[in-house]
């Protein structure tokens, strides 16, 4: 069984899918570069996939022309869930789409279609939530800094939102779960992997003052008679609160 090892990016995965289709392999797996050695222990052949943007774009066009842009977006959301075995599941979804064309979106009884749609909705929902849960802080280095710990790899989906929302300041959204960050330099944003900070960036004095004001506002404007911890927990689960200014003391 062949194992296609790629760089972990969605473009790299599309190149791996294209390579697998070209080779005609019926039995194969996918692994990220960091898992090459482990994959080699159980596979007969490890195939290194080179990420070529043009190849990824060509496969995307092929799939969109055959099925739809919406179906491609669904596959992308599902891929970024990073769930175990998601690559093979998305591969089955993509190849089924190339075989069936626009009927793919109606084939909800098919396991890969049902599962990919379900996982994609979960990732899309989490990305939507984090558009409201990201809290930027002004740091002494001269940019805005935010920390998040999402379940899925949502930076590619929320970064464009904040380019439009906070486009007049350079910023960094740091995904602590994956040691990666979205960096914006007033021109464009880019994804940087293997981000290791020995300590949190130092906050400006002004940031400390505004954080205190926001916390006071949050507390003072709460209506005691309407205090409903269960409802609040439903809309803002505990796992989101660690990096929300209104729920923390810095």
Predicted local confidence at residue 25, as pLDDT: 76
| Owner of token pair 């709460």 | 222
Classified as helix, coil or strand, 28 is: strand
Decide: 112 and 93 in contact? Cβ < 8 Å: yes
HEC profile of 235-248: HCCHHHHCCCHHHC
Neighbours of 70 (CB within 10 A): 9
What integer is the mean pLDDT of 54-61? 98
The model carries a pTM of 0.89
Least Cα distance to 6 among 92, 18, 119 occurs for 18
Predicted local confidence at residue 35, as pLDDT: 66
User: pLDDT category, 48, cuts 50, 70, 90?
Assistant: very high
What integer is the mean pLDDT of 172-191? 97
| Owner of token pair 């996918």 | 30
Decide: 90 and 71 in contact? Cβ < 8 Å: no
Give every CB contact of residue 27 below 8 A, 6+ residues apart in sequence: 1, 2
Q: Is the pLDDT of residue 81 over 80?
A: yes
Locate 39 and state its tokens: 């994959």
Predicted local confidence at residue 44, as pLDDT: 64
Classified as helix, coil or strand, 49 is: coil
Question: pLDDT tens digit string along 195-228?
Answer: 988 788 999 999 999 888 888 887 888 788 888 8
What integer is the mean pLDDT of 14-33? 90
């Amino acid at each position: 069984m062949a194992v296609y090892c790629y760089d972990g990016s969605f473009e790299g995965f599309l190149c791996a899918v294209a390579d697998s289709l070209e080779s005609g392999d019926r039995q194969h797996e996918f692994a990220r570069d960091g898992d090459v050695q482990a994959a080699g222990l159980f596979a007969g052949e490890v195939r290194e996939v080179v990420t070529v943007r043009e190849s990824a774009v060509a496969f995307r066009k092929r799939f969109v022309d055959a099925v739809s842009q919406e179906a491609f977006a669904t596959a992308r959301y599902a891929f970024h869930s990073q769930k175990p075995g998601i690559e093979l599941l998305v591969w089955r979804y993509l190849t089924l789409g190339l075989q069936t064309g626009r009927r793919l979106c109606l084939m909800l009884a098919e396991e890969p279609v049902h599962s990919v749609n379900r996982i994609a909705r979960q990732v899309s929902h989490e990305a939507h939530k984090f558009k409201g849960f990201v809290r930027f802080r002004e740091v002494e280095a001269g940019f805005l800094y935010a920390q998040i710990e999402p379940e899925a790899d949502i930076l590619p989906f929320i970064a464009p939102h904040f380019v439009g929302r906070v486009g007049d300041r350079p910023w960094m959204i740091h995904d602590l779960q994956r040691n990666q960050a979205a960096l914006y330099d007033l021109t464009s944003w880019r994804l940087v992997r293997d981000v290791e900070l020995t300590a949190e960036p130092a906050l400006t004095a002004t940031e400390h003052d505004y954080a205190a004001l926001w916390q006071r506002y949050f507390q003072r404007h709460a209506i005691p008679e309407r205090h409903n911890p269960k409802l609040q927990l439903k809309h803002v689960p505990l796992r989101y609160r660690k990096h929300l200014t209104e729920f923390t003391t810095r």
